[in-house]
Amino acid sequence: MPEFKYEINDKVALLSESGDYTCEANVITYGDNGRPKLDIRKWNRAENRMQKGITLTRDEALALYEALKGFDFDKLG
């Protein structure tokens, strides 16, 4: 099985922390020829392991940004 490669190009935000786990937004490149993507996921920094998350292209990140501008965050409680 080929080695899984990724590089964190830019740390955007630390969203939360709980024990050894953090939720982070980063710009990450996956593989040798991948384009950078906005990556939001949980990390276990004690073991330097990534958990499930979501990656967004530039266009997807901009669409989310535009949608959140008008979002009523009070709906989240």
Domain containing residue 54: 6-71
Q: Does 76 map to a domain?
A: no
Q: Does 50 map to a domain?
A: yes
Distances in Å between the alpha carbon of 22 and those of 3, 70, 76?
24, 27, 21
Q: Does 36 map to a domain?
A: yes
Alpha carbon 24 to chain centroid distance? 6
> What is the reported pTM?
0.85
Phi, psi of 40 (to 5 degrees): -120, 120
User: CA 46, CA 11: separation in Å to the nearest integer?
Assistant: 18
10-residue mean pLDDT series, the chain (77 residues) = 86 96 96 90 89 96 97 95
What's the longest Cα–Cα distance across the chain? Answer: 46
Q: Does 63 map to a domain?
A: yes
Domain total in the chain: 1
33: domain CATH number is 2.30.31.70
